Amino acid sequence: MKKHSLNTINKLVKTLTLMFLFFSFYTNAQTINPPIKSFGNICASPSFNSYTANFDFSGFGAGTTFVLEMSNAAGSFSTLTPISIISSQTATSPGSFTFSVPANTTTAGQNYVLRVRSISPAITSGPSTPAFNAYYKAYNNSFTINNNLTSINICGNSGTLSVDAGSSSPRNFAGLKYKWYRNNVLIAGQTNFSLPVTTPGAYYAELDYGGCSSSLTTSQTINVNFVTSASSYTIVSSLGTDICPGTPTTLSTEQGHSYQWKRNDVSIPGATQYAYITDVPGSYKVVVGPGSPCQSDSNTIVLNAESFNLSVDALLPPAKNRILEGDTLTVTATTDATSPTYEWFKDDVAVTPANITPTIAITQPGKYKIVVNQTASCSFSKKLEFDVIFGAVALTVPNVISPNNGDDSNDTWVIPNEYANLEHEIIIMDNYGKIVLQKTNYLSDWPAPGSIEVKSVNPVYFYIINKNGSPIKKGSITIIQ
């Protein structure tokens, strides 16, 4: 009887011991609950990329290291999305992590989940629920298609819509996907930045950011029509046909086609839009739909440049005007500009006192310039330059020059001004009879530096001065070395 009671007591002790051990193990179990995100979807962008997840844990000692992990777009942890931890609190439960996602277009999908794991001991929580969208919106603005047109006429049976390229365009970010719509209905399977079209309708594109998509990242709507034959097109000039230098006009025709602009029947490189800006005079037309069955030539529009005449009663470069020291050379500008103003310069500095008249009295050598500005509705300027040097004005035709002796004097054959005009033809020949110069309006600029090949000492040239086709003066020119 006593032995039976002892066995019963031993069994009871063992049972209580096991219960105590089980209770101790249970009360000290290390657990990490699935993280709870404080956001709906991750819709990151260059202006915002910060998200927080909280988690409960128990049974871990002080200093335990916890790690937050984000799955791939399929919800698998076989490969991880490399998130960056901004801040964390894991000393006490509940813990939290604030993190950012990779700032590139690889962050894109609709089945991401989070989990937390400890390093030592290695314990991993279950995944967060429900799965969420995560997109990095590398481009987070509206954009345009087909040059931001609102309608387009396509020649033939098919054409292409395309997102416009440029410094601000989603096309600058490889990997972005698009959704295309026709009459507000999604076109299945079209995810590129361009769309082949064969059916008329109202089209637009949207960046595919899944649950993060919004009207902010959508293009304009463009109405697509198809044409099968040539049409008539008219050019309009924004400033009329008389253009002012430096003030370009805009030539334009009907939008919604392909184009090639021409000036004087020559294609203008790069001029392939419905409008062309120019301040160059000429005859313009545009070929609409070049190379297509619907190719059409527009009307021709002729742009004329506003201009005025300007002259001075002085020799222009390379000829030089000569004065003797103490003398005065009076030069007058003549113009037909409307309401002209005048300004004179010497060596690129405005003369002082300021001269605003058409006439200047010159007593010093230098480079002179007259600037005339037309101040009417078409305001622009013209200028003429001329040189003045000290030296005697030729009264007779010289027979000796010395261009190579280095004294910068008597370097060219300077003739009296009465022969330097369109009525007189100057002919110069070498001693073999070869013509080396033949021109009217001679500017006393022969020989040009380095133009004479010296084959003998002090070579001799011969000149003839013709007036209206008849010789009036002949002679020789000796070149002193």
Q: Are 53 and 114 in contact (CB under 8 A)?
A: yes
DSSP per-residue codes, 334-386:
EE--SSEEEEEEETTEE-SS---SSEEEE-S-EEEEEEEEE-SSS-EEEEEEE
Q: Which domains does the chain have, with CATH numbers?
A: 31-132 (2.60.40), 146-227 (2.60.40.10), 236-305 (2.60.40.10), 310-390 (2.60.40.10), 400-479 (2.60.40)
Q: What is the pLDDT of residue 69?
A: 98
CA 395 to CA 97: how far, in whole Å? 100
Q: What is the pLDDT of residue 404?
A: 72
Q: Are 96 and 50 in contact (CB under 8 A)?
A: no
CA 46 to CA 207: how far, in whole Å? 16
Q: What is the pLDDT of residue 110?
A: 96
Q: Which of 273, 294, 299 is nearest to 284 (CA)?
A: 299
CA 418 to CA 426: how far, in whole Å? 12
Q: What does the pLDDT profile of the chain (481 residues) look like in tens digits?
A: 444 455 655 665 455 444 443 333 334 589 999 999 999 999 999 999 999 999 999 999 999 999 999 999 999 999 999 999 999 999 999 999 999 999 999 999 999 999 999 999 999 999 999 999 999 999 999 999 999 999 988 888 889 999 999 999 999 999 999 999 999 999 999 999 999 999 999 999 999 999 999 999 999 999 999 987 778 899 999 999 999 888 899 999 998 888 999 999 999 999 999 999 999 999 999 999 888 878 899 999 999 988 899 999 988 887 788 888 899 999 999 999 999 999 999 999 999 888 899 999 999 999 999 999 998 878 889 999 999 988 766 678 999 998 877 676 778 898 887 888 888 999 999 989 999 999 998 888 899 887 877 677 889 999 999 998 899 999 999 998 7
CA 181 to CA 201: how far, in whole Å? 10
What is the edge-to-edge ordering of all strands in the sheet holding 340-346? 320-323, 380-390, 366-374, 340-346, 349-350
Q: What are the residues facing 66 on neighbouring strands?
A: 118
Torsion from C-alpha of 359, 363, 366, 370, nearest 10 degrees: -10
| Rounded alpha-carbon distances, angstroms, from residue 387 to 138, 364, 368, 439 | 62, 11, 6, 22
In 10 A of CB 410, how many CB atoms? 15
CA 169 to CA 148: how far, in whole Å? 12
Give me 467's structure tokens.
């007036």
Angle among Cα 392, 396, 397 to the nearest 5 degrees reads 110
243 CB-near residues (< 8 Å, 6+ apart):
249, 279, 281, 303, 304, 305, 306
Give me 87's structure tokens.
């801040």
Q: Are 127 and 114 in contact (CB under 8 A)?
A: yes
CA 193 to CA 212: how far, in whole Å? 19
At residue 269, the 3 state secondary structure works out as coil
277 CB-near residues (< 8 Å, 6+ apart):
248, 249, 250, 251
Q: What is the pLDDT of residue 7?
A: 60
Q: What is the pLDDT of residue 400?
A: 92
Give me 478's structure tokens.
């000796």
Q: What is the pLDDT of residue 321?
A: 86
Q: Are 259 and 275 in contact (CB under 8 A)?
A: no
466 CB-near residues (< 8 Å, 6+ apart):
424, 425, 427, 472
Q: Which of 63, 57, 99 is nearest to 82 (CA)?
A: 99
At residue 431, the 3 state secondary structure works out as coil
